[in-house]
Structure 1
């Protein structure tokens, strides 16, 4: 089994960090320090080595250290089954992020083929009881880990849908204006749907074949209204038939952007939305671990895991179970917590970073 881990990470003028240089090994990374010291900023930096806007979904401008706002740079050396790769992500004075892989400029979506990064943050604790958008985003992060092309298909679909929505709002009725856009939406939408179905199948298999202390979640794709058109032909027909209804609404009402993720606590046959707060958290952890196991089997290495404040919400038994599963996977899991004692069960199986705040700047110290 191979490894995927960051052996070096540098942050320059990123969030609360002026300059940080870290040399690491493949073990989990336990990060501790007071609230507001800059712990989450470290794992947010790691999340930017994957496509998208990172675990906070922030703008490039918001990530710049203040008051300077000079721009920021992240660089890292990724050890992957394909070898060593140097990655840098930069933003100049709030401009869009620029990505380089092995000193060559590349689209952000290219990161999906190189790195696999999964995360769980406190903002996701209400995933099962809030709107469908958050669940779709959670689903698509898992899908992207299996299918790197999912990012490009999603971007193309959304761009084309925006163009169609513009026609709808302007009350354009000429069918020729819609034909090309709907054909493109049907093509990419079918890919998105197929990827989601395949990813859920992998997650189901990974949960069914493992011994874990965390509850199994049964997952199902649902549609906000009507039947979900899965094939390209079905989606094209649905878009054409919905055109006048969409025109009245001023937006597209059918397609994979209307999909929802329905979860059930399998052992109790209880919808995830009706479970206790602790059970909902355990289900999310279970899915992240299942995703990691499935990826490890598929690509020959576990992904990078980013777990923000996860240990604080687990009892001692579940905390030890989590650490055991992470170490059994061989994953470089970046975990944050306010107290070093939360990670005592890891012992020498982890490396430890203490984050402090001095004179308005975060400082990071490697601890034994």
Structure 2
């Protein structure tokens, strides 16, 4: 899954770019605001979802451009994926191409390509609300179970309709029951997928997949998943269906649903010391997250037979010199495409001769003279 060509058209700050990295390991440096994260975001949009920034479609086109955008990539095995505004039709839509054809579903793309990323915003993952941690967990699940995205989306659609009916008052009980039944089925399926991912990831991390980074233990905080620990899925569905029906007056007053897939949270601990990430220093949190990302990449490679694209935006921030060394050495031995960014090129000096080096600037991308050009794929 080595990226061999990336083409951008009116995407973020790039009016037009054709880039051919010569190595699976790529270092991208440059000043803040020069487009480093935009490149990683473009690659993250090759898989279904809203990318590493969780951006809205109107934010993706170049501000001075025509309002349409495109991203296209080719990989060493011949795989070609493109996404962007449709050539004909509303500019606020997004379409995909897989090997030049319209895919039957976005899941067809997710089955061919997986991407995992870590961004500076995730450094605050354990100091903010549960929604960010839940999105982080769901991205880990989606990379292995593409159908999980449909379950979560269907749950949220049914929940939004239920919330509207409750807010209006006097809704037909049978209509509410139908929406709650949809919520229940999708919530239990989502909880089961999250629960399975946490178990598989913890086992992989315990086997040393994080390398020299601390082995993390992930915990799923979700009453639906907890019920699945002891009860069969149909019994959990019955419990959740009854609970939602009983909660209608309370949920109507609150304007939201008190139970469902949207209430799940995630916690992370150092497996050796038991230290919670929420109580750890910023550097310790970063080390635990990097361990999770490396372990997840190993899990994907084992489960799918191909490694994911690994996108690390400013990964060296908050790491001491020993941890930075461990990270670079680990990345140098990983299979698959790894793109990492930073403002200080000196941080990545140990990768000279092993990585392709580029610098952003003037809305373009230029070979970094500090990194000798490697033989192309």
- TM-score clears 0.5: yes
Taking the aligned partners of 1:227 and 1:197, their CA distance within structure 2 comes to 6
Select the structure that is richer in strand: 1
Aligned in 2, Cα 1:65/1:173: closer, same or farther, shift over 3 Å? closer
Taking the aligned partners of 2:224 and 2:367, their CA distance within structure 1 comes to 54
Count of residue correspondences? 357
1:114 aligned residue (112, 115, 130): 112
For residues 175-190 of structure 1, the aligned pairs below 5 Å read 175-190=173-188
1:272 aligned residue (270, 277, 293): 277
Q: What residue in structure 2 maps to residue 124 of structure 1?
A: 122
Taking the aligned partners of 2:22 and 2:251, their CA distance within structure 1 comes to 53
Q: What residue in structure 1 maps to residue 80 of structure 2?
A: 86
Taking the aligned partners of 2:258 and 2:227, their CA distance within structure 1 comes to 12
Answer yes or no: is the 8 Å Cα contact 2:192–2:225 preserved in 1. Answer: no
For residues 84-233 of structure 1, the aligned pairs below 5 Å read 84-91=78-85, 94-106=91-103, 107-210=105-208, 212-223=211-222, 229-230=227-228, 231=233, 232-233=237-238
Q: What residue in structure 1 maps to residue 300 of structure 2?
A: 295
TM superposition score normalised by structure 1: 0.91
RMSD in angstroms over aligned alpha carbons? 1.9
TM superposition score normalised by structure 2: 0.89
Unaligned runs of at least 5 residues, structure 1: none
Aligned in 2, Cα 1:174/1:301: closer, same or farther, shift over 3 Å? same
Indicate the SS of the match to 1:220: strand
Q: Does 1:284 find its partner at 2:289?
A: yes
Answer yes or no: is the 8 Å Cα contact 2:3–2:24 preserved in 1. Answer: no
Answer yes or no: is the 8 Å Cα contact 2:191–2:224 preserved in 1. Answer: no
Taking the aligned partners of 1:188 and 1:336, their CA distance within structure 2 comes to 37
Q: What residue in structure 2 maps to residue 18 of structure 1?
A: 15
2:32 aligned residue (28, 31, 35): 35
Which deviations, in whole Å up to 9, do the C-alpha atoms of 1:107-149 show, x marking residues without a partner?
Answer: 4444322211111000110101110000000000001111111
Which deviations, in whole Å up to 9, do the C-alpha atoms of 1:335-355 show, x marking residues without a partner?
Answer: 001122221111222111111
Unaligned runs of at least 5 residues, structure 2: 373-377
Q: What residue in structure 2 maps to residue 60 of structure 1?
A: 57
| Shift in Å, 1:74 | 0.6
